[in-house]
Amino acid sequence: MSDRAVDKSISVLNSTLQPLSILVLHGPNLNLLGQREPGIYGSLTLSEINRLLEEEAIKSQVKVFSVQSNHEGVLVDTIHEALGQYQGILINAGAYTHTSVALRDAIAAVNLPTVEIHLSNIYRREEFRHHSYIAPVAIGQISGFGVQSYLLGLQALVHILRKDKV
């Protein structure tokens, strides 16, 4: 085996040993989960959702880092900072899904595989919620399954990231 082939094998081995890191972004008003319209968003708090994501991450042998902000610029800055730190993004942009070209452009700019998720089925709600600026730059969208939307989104993202590595 040539030195180049050995180096490539070591590189592949090292990349499979290092856990994937995934950025989880929660948009505006998600800090009020558990008390905000539980009939639509469920009774779990954001802390409980993050705990469930961490448990799923452990099972999937990945790392997750969660950020919640009600401020669009903070979310944009966090997406920019994801380059070189994370291999993918799981995002519930909340109302910014339907209004933020800035978040859409930030996701497109960093070019990290992104899964858009929503607790509620946005297509069974008000007409203005049916349009997503995020969807065209995401690899997929999961909505309507409550907390399972987050867990399914994480599983799908991990699957895609690992599939691309082999």
Closest CA to 41 of 55, 51, 30: 30
The answer to whether residues 40 and 105 touch, using CB atoms and an 8 Å cutoff, is no
pTM for the predicted model, two decimal places: 0.86
Residues 6+ apart with CB under 8 A from 79: 23, 25, 89, 103, 106, 107, 109, 110
Give residue limits of the domains in the chain: 3-165
Give the per-residue pLDDT at 149.
97
Q: Write out the binding residues.
A: 92, 98, 105, 119-120, 129
CA distance 90 to 115: 5
Query: Which class does domain 3-165 fall in?
Result: alpha beta
Catalytic residues: 41, 118
The answer to whether residues 86 and 109 touch, using CB atoms and an 8 Å cutoff, is no
Give the per-residue pLDDT at 165.
60
CA distance 52 to 132: 26
Mean pLDDT by 10 residues, the chain (166 residues): 49 60 97 86 91 97 98 98 97 96 98 97 86 97 96 98 75
Q: Write out the binding residues for substrate.
A: 92, 98, 105, 119-120, 129
